[in-house]
Chains A and B, each alone.
Chain A
Amino acid sequence: MCSECGTPIAAELDYFAALGIPRRLTLDPRQLENLYHDLGRRLHPDRFAGSAAAIRNASLSATALLTRAFRTLRDPVSRGLYWLELQGEKLASDNQKVPPELAEMIFDVQETLAELRSAHGGDAAAVRDQIAASKAQVQASIGESLADLERNFARWDASVNHDADLIVQLKAILSRIAYLRTLSRDIERALEQPD
């Protein structure tokens, strides 16, 4: 959008630029939402219904970009992943070793889920209880990792020389969340199955 007259301009912007905010990892969700609504109103295609075709199209694509930007940046995990991409980093590069304690937990829970699929009657009920306990444990672990992620975001934003170690840690935390979310999804699916 033109800062002088408010006319939408077609441009390739990254999501931070689309919202007019610095490329920082720490974001205030309320501020982000306000910006999104404010910009959304000002760029809304209805306001340019009588304008030239180029401006109408620019308004449409700017609104679409704004929505994608907001959806990606409001969630800390997708924001972190997107930010890594902007840094030219990939989550999976040099990052395929699963920490042993996490792997152990994943294999334990997955094996219990497999047990549930073959258990019947009273056995199934006992296995379900065990899985419910694992579910709580996995949820708590996801919560801890999200808090860890926010701390790491703040650390990166505050660092002047942008230590590469922080990126390694960031990738490790994001990976951990990805493994835990997959596990959590598998638990949900297993519990939905009737006995």
Chain B
Amino acid sequence: MAYSSKVLDHYNNPRNVGSFPKDAEDVGTGVVGAPECGDVMKLQLKITPEGVIEDARFKTFGCGSAIASSSYVTELVKGKRIEEAMTIKNSAIVQELNLPPVKIHCSVLAEDAIKAAITDWKSKHEKDEKSAAAPGKAAQG
């Protein structure tokens, strides 16, 4: 199958490959996979307390389209607010990378990875809010 030139570019020069420490407060990690082909994708976002995505890293083990999709989203999400990043649709990835129909699931994977990473970050911060709120209450009471 012929890959589009954009897929090849991301595949040959993937952007933002690597990882952040997954336990860090400002890091959200999303690990998703495509069970039909066994591809796995890890996307990590570094997010400011105000909810702005500062930086992104990925590691994907899978086909060229899966690698290109994750590489592309690391660039796409940088500088966006999490609310905005949550609205990114896989169709935008399909369009940008010119993915053929059999590779659409790779773009779905990338979309799900963004959501999973943001959800992970939020869950870390909900815990913070709770633990921050609890002593406050105790002090009041």
Which residues of A are in contact with B by a Cβ distance under 8 Å? 91-92, 95-98, 100, 103, 106-107, 110, 171, 174-175, 178-183, 186
Residues of B within 8 A of A182 (CB): 37-39
Cross-chain contact of A103 among B34, B40, B105 (Cβ < 8 A): B40
Are the CB atoms of A96 and B112 closer together than 8 Å?
yes
Q: Nearest 7 pairs between A and B by C-beta?
A: A182-B38, A175-B35, A98-B33, A103-B31, A110-B61, A96-B32, A179-B38
Type the 1/0 row for B35-75, where 1 means its CB is closer than 8 Å to any CB of A: 11111101000000000000000010100000000000000
Does B109 reach chain A (CB closer than 8 Å)?
Answer: yes
- Nearest-neighbor residue (CB-CB) of A113 within chain B: B61
- A100–B34 Cα distance when bound, in Å, is 15
Question: Which among A96, A103, A174 has the highest number of chain B CB atoms within 10 Å?
Answer: A96
- Nearest-neighbor residue (CB-CB) of B62 within chain A: A182
Chain B interface residue bracket vs A: 10 to 19
Are the CB atoms of B35 and A95 closer together than 8 Å?
yes
- A96–B35 Cα distance when bound, in Å, is 7
Are the CB atoms of A97 and B38 closer together than 8 Å?
no
Residues of B within 8 A of A97 (CB): 31-33, 116
Are the CB atoms of B105 and A92 closer together than 8 Å?
yes
- A115–B105 Cα distance when bound, in Å, is 28
Question: Which among B33, B59, B105, B112 has the highest number of chain A CB atoms within 10 Å?
Answer: B33
Are the CB atoms of A91 and B109 closer together than 8 Å?
no
Distance from A82 Cβ to chain B, minimum over Cβ atoms (Å): 13
- Nearest-neighbor residue (CB-CB) of A184 within chain B: B38
Question: Which among A174, A182, A183 has the highest number of chain B CB atoms within 10 Å?
Answer: A182
Distance from B76 Cβ to chain A, minimum over Cβ atoms (Å): 19
Residues of A within 8 A of B42 (CB): 103, 107
Are the CB atoms of A179 and B40 closer together than 8 Å?
yes
**In the complex, which residues 100-139 of chain B have their Cβ closer than 8 Å to any Cβ of chain A?**
105, 108-109, 112, 116
Distance from B37 Cβ to chain A, minimum over Cβ atoms (Å): 7
Question: Which among A100, A171, A175, A181 has the highest number of chain B CB atoms within 10 Å?
Answer: A175
- A183–B32 Cα distance when bound, in Å, is 15
Residues of B within 8 A of A100 (CB): 31
Residues of B within 8 A of A103 (CB): 31, 33, 40, 42
Cross-chain contact of A186 among B34, B59, B61 (Cβ < 8 A): B61
- Nearest-neighbor residue (CB-CB) of B37 within chain A: A182
